[in-house]
Amino acid sequence: MGEEDRKSRLQQKQEEVEEVKGIMLDNMKKADERSGKLNDLEQQAEDLLEKGKMFEKTTRKLKKQEMPYKKILIALGVVAGLIVVGIIIFFSVNRH
């Protein structure tokens, strides 16, 4: 092998190393970008979890506040029904 062949092979190997180096740097850059995106997604997931917990607390609180109103409405409905039944009975007894 001549001197020229060795230089050519050496130059070819250096070019291959540079190409691999470029690919590796590109891969590292892409990995960094993915890492940043994953961190963003993780933060968004944590935010959503926190908002979900707050929503759950709010709905429980509202449900507790709603309970007395439901009881009052049911009681009023029962009273109104008894009054209507009482009126019907009163008028049917007075007719005879």
**27-59 burial: b if 16+ Cβ within 10 Å, else e:** eeeeeeeeeeeeeeeeeeeeeeeeeeeeeeeee
- Cα–Cα distance for residue pair 73/91, rounded to 1 Å: 27
If we measure between CA atoms, which residue out of 30, 11, 31 comes closest to residue 19?
Answer: 11
**Ordered per-residue pLDDT tens for the chain, 96 residues:** 567 777 788 899 999 999 999 999 999 999 999 999 999 999 999 999 999 999 999 998 888 887 788 888 899 999 999 999 999 998 888 776
Count other Cβ atoms within 10 Å, centred on residue 68: 9
